[in-house]
Amino acid sequence: MTAALTGAVILLVCVFGFLNGFRDASAAVALTVRTRALTPSIAVVLTAGFNVLGTLTSAWLLKNIGMVFVAVPSGNDGLVLLGATLIAAILWGVYGWWRGYPASSTHALVGGLIGASLGLTLIGDRAPSGLDQVFWLSVGLPLIVSPLLAFGAAFFLTPLVTWILRYSQPSQAHAGLRAAQSVGASIVAFGHGLQDGQRIVALFIVAALGSGAGFDEVPMWAMVAAAIALGGGTLAGGWRITYTLSHRLVRMDPLRAFVSQFVTSAMLVFGSLGLHWPLSTTHTVVASVLGAGANQDVGSVNVPLVVRLIRFWLLTPLTTAVLGFVLGLAFEPLGDIG
């Protein structure tokens, strides 16, 4: 039974990784497609390649820097916990895609993990250690800090870039900004691979080898599986969310799109390599888009949609916690089967 549970959880990790790339592809391609810096097909292929590269590089982060992760119970109990967590995050991710709402896959994962842990603890199973640290570093910090930083940086950089380009012809300025956006989309995709790739690699390792597995040596198969899952999801593309970011949220032009991607790129790469922060790609992108667009007239920002997105972000860890709680209780008997 343990082998069957292990295979099922590894399959769920693959699905979660694919859905992560599928949903978060919009973060990299939305603005480049909106301003016609790249065609949709080229943008998706480009970002998929850099997503894979970032995921492979994230193995270096796991080995040399490490990451905050919970020590799940060993054996079937740990596999049941991971299974309930992943299904909760997947269900919420599919619902968010269907509504066209960008949200953090990591927040959904952590919420499901906390809910499933509480459910299993109520019936006598051992609770994972380090949940409070994971919650604050993977949910609390990114949910509060990264959107505020991204919004503020984009808001104040937009007038500065406008002033720098004040004597440029609009056609020349837009051509240069579109070219810079292509580079920015690649960096955003690379940063997404760095951030989310390491979590998916870690999930593969914990599911297959147990919570006692260290990150001194990252298995090649885990790196390749995570890269294929994220890259394949990116190639599929979550166009509902792309349309929300590029058309429904803020009225965008090449200058503001460039500022947004510059801020997102700097935060994701510097946050991963310099500060080791677990930033949310989705929240950073959305906040930088709003910051760059807020310098226009009020009618350019879809305020009701912004309110719905913030509400959806707050509901993400809460809802997946409830789903994880219910699923953890439902799957608990599987942990007792030898």
Write the pLDDT tens digit of every residue in 51-81. 888 888 877 766 654 444 556 666 677 788 8
CA distance 99 to 167: 42
154's tokens: 């984009």
Rounded to two decimals, the pTM is: 0.85
User: Is the residue at 292 inside a domain?
Assistant: yes
Answer with the residue of higher pLDDT: 331 or 10: 10
CA distance 178 to 258: 7
Residue 336, pLDDT score: 59
User: Is the residue at 10 inside a domain?
Assistant: yes
Residue 164: is its pLDDT beyond 80?
yes
User: Is the residue at 333 inside a domain?
Assistant: no
pLDDT band at 27 (very low <50, low <70, confident <90, very high): confident
**Are the CB atoms for 115 and 88 separated by under 8 Å?**
yes
Residue 338: is its pLDDT beyond 80?
no
Domain range for residue 7?
2-326
Residue 142, pLDDT score: 64
User: Is the residue at 334 inside a domain?
Assistant: no
Residue 220, pLDDT score: 79
Q: What are phi and psi of 326, to 5 degrees?
A: -65, -45
User: Is the residue at 274 inside a domain?
Assistant: yes
Give tens-digit pLDDT for 121-156.
Answer: 777 665 565 565 666 665 666 667 778 888 999 989
User: Is the residue at 335 inside a domain?
Assistant: no
Residue 150, pLDDT score: 87
User: Is the residue at 331 inside a domain?
Assistant: no
Give tens-digit pLDDT for 270-323.
Answer: 766 666 666 777 888 888 888 888 877 655 778 888 889 889 988 998 999 999
Residue 62, pLDDT score: 67
CA distance 337 to 266: 49
Overall number of domains in the chain: 1
Residue 68, pLDDT score: 45
User: Is the residue at 336 inside a domain?
Assistant: no
